[in-house]
Amino acid sequence: MAAAPTQIEAELYYLIARFLQSGPCNKSAQVLVQELEEHQLIPRRLDWEGKEHRRSFEDL
């Protein structure tokens, strides 16, 4: 399992995926989003009790 990405890296992954989705490289965006979720590179969310939960790209 890869180390958790830094905040900057997580934001860059998100921005790159959104950029790809908005242009002619939609298939590349789909692959990137799939890999981000598969390798758990999307930052976890905290609930109101402070517990961490996985989230999908759509949750961002």
Task: Write the pLDDT tens digit of every residue in 8-41.
Answer: 998 899 999 999 999 999 999 999 999 998 988 8
Compute the distance between CA of residue 40 and CA of residue 1 in angstroms, rounded to an integer: 9
Q: How many Cβ atoms are within 10 Å of 36's Cβ, its own excluded?
A: 20
Per-residue pLDDT tens digits for 42-58: 878 888 998 888 877 77
Name 45's bridge partners.
53
Please, which pLDDT band fits residue 2 given cuts at 50, 70 and 90?
low
pTM above 0.75, yes or no: no
Q: Which DSSP symbol is given to 59?
A: G
Q: Where are the domains of the chain?
A: 7-59
